[in-house]
Amino acid sequence: MERMDWNAGPEKTQLKQPISAYLRQNVYYTFSGFNFLPNFINLASQVGIEDRIMFSTDHPWGTMLEARTFLDSLPISVADRELIAHGNAERLFKM
């Protein structure tokens, strides 16, 4: 995100905010198929867990067991795990 902001700042894009702001405010993310701790840490540091990251699987290339095992192994709080597992999707889809 920093690279996009640096290479395509508001002065070039004529947007009111940097591109990263739009990516943080308007896009939802999963880490499906990228079940590696460094990738998750990077995603969480860029967009935060509280709202934008949701659980998914990479079926048929990955299994639910692999995805759930990765989610359960993340060094995050129980509350954050619940947000990723279902809370953020429930809020987005008004469930």
Tell me the residue range of the domain where 47 lies. Answer: 33-95
Residue given tokens 């889809």 in the structure block: 93
Compute mean pLDDT per 10 residues along the chain, 95 residues long, and list them: 91 93 94 90 92 91 90 97 97 95
Q: Considering the domain boundaries, does residue 21 fall inside one?
A: no
Say if 81 falls within a structural domain: yes
Q: Give the predicted TM-score (pTM) of the model.
A: 0.86
Nearest to 87 by CA among 9, 28, 21, 19: 28
Q: Are 81 and 50 in contact (CB under 8 A)?
A: no
The total number of structural domains in the chain stands at: 1
- The single-letter DSSP state of residue 84 is I
| Residue-level pLDDT at 93 | 95
Q: Is residue 15 part of a domain?
A: no
Does 79 fall in a domain? yes
Among candidates 91, 88, 92, which has minimal Cα distance to 31?
A: 88
